[in-house]
A and B are shown apart, each in its own frame.
Chain A
């Protein structure tokens, strides 16, 4: 028979074991409750941040916004299809861009105006924009609309105005109404003809050729540039500054 002392120790050990079990349960309970609350709060906070981020400046313009700015920028500079400036200029700057691409829009608003008002306007350089479709199906729809505007010598007005009114990529803003608004803002004279031209299957071949060219040149992003001149060829990718474009031009003169 256990002594009184042994009985006390046995009871104490049982009590401690019971308390320890309760503590483990309490820890588990806290972990599940607080952990779930943490995950829930985090998901809500990230969702709010993403929604605010998406809504900030991401919506497309009216389609005609800044049309006067673009008209002034391109005034007096000849256009031949996809080429802006003198087709016989000694240096050609060829941009491979996607109308849905925000980085291309950045180049269009930050660097292109200086390039156009400088060496392109002076006749030293011509500037071509080729439609390199990398963002999504709407890129092709937009590209065809721009190429159709080129049939009426408004290709450059169209792409520059498109960039000024660009929305969030693949968000569905490239509707027929939006494209027509850009066409009107770009000063396309015959909208009915433009609407017919943009559905012409011939663009499939034109666009496929550009995709092959870009891939052959090793371009994997937009905007990418091919600069050709008497001194040879040079390539670059990214939102280049005007001085970087001018360095590329000098390297092939």
Chain B
């Protein structure tokens, strides 16, 4: 089992990369264009222009930025609040990414490499945050030094 500190640092690093990816998609969309697909594919433009690229009028990448920022904050937060906050956010991010990937594959019929990258980062974050929550839930309880025995206890 990796040390909790290592997991927290890894989660922050992944979240920072995610903020970069989501910010790029948002900037590309706000200029009226679409993210550039590597190798000249059309998938990114097709996905960006589909009706599913926005939720309630807001680009899904904006939700991504907010999600990654919250995940970084959760990773920086010690204790069970950070552990389970990170787990909830990771589950939401992973679930919504899975839904978006389903839409790309079976509804829009196009794959955006940037969206796949983000879905991959969300999957990594779920693994890291689940490991942290399952492995270290309530760790402070056992880490607390044993109180020295008082005379009446013995």
Contacts and interface: CB of A to CB of B under 8 A. Distances in A.
Q: Do A and B come from one complex?
A: yes
Interface of A: 8, 11-12, 15-16, 19-20, 23-24, 26-27, 30-31, 34-35, 37-39, 41-43, 45-46, 49-50, 52-53, 56-58, 101-103, 106, 110, 134, 169, 221-222, 237-241
A34 B137 contact: yes
Contacts of B63: 49
27 contacts: A11-B153, A12-B153, A15-B153, A27-B142, A30-B137, A31-B133, A31-B137, A37-B84, A38-B84, A39-B91, A43-B95, A46-B95, A46-B96, A49-B55, A49-B96, A50-B99, A53-B52, A57-B54, A101-B109, A102-B52, A106-B46, A134-B109, A169-B107, A222-B109, A238-B45, A238-B110, A239-B42
Interface residues of B, number: 40
Contact of B92 (A42, A110, A238): A42
Most chain B CB atoms below 10 A, which of A23, A49, A110, A241: A49
B142 A38 contact: no
Nearest to A24: B142
A23 B110 CA distance: 51
Contacts of B49: 106, 110, 239
B154 interface: yes
Contacts of A56: 51, 54-57
Contacts, number: 119
B50 A31 contact: no
A15 B137 contact: no
A241 B33 CA distance: 12
Nearest to B100: A53
A187 to B, nearest CB: 27
B141 A27 contact: yes
A20 B88 CA distance: 29
Interface of B: 41-43, 45-46, 49-52, 54-57, 60, 63, 80, 83-84, 87-88, 91-92, 95-96, 99, 107-110, 133-134, 137-139, 141-142, 146, 149, 153-154
Contact of B55 (A23, A30, A52, A106): A52
Contacts of A20: 142
A34 to B, nearest CB: 4
Contacts of B139: 27
B141 A23 contact: yes
A239 B45 contact: yes
A17 B42 CA distance: 64
Contact of B91 (A11, A42, A238): A42
Contacts of B42: 237-240
A116 to B, nearest CB: 19
Nearest to A37: B84
B110 A15 contact: no
A53 B53 CA distance: 9
B25 to A, nearest CB: 16
Contacts of A23: 138, 141-142
B49 to A, nearest CB: 5
A245 to B, nearest CB: 12
Contact of B51 (A37, A38, A58): A58
Contacts of B80: 30, 34
A117 B16 CA distance: 47
Nearest to A49: B96
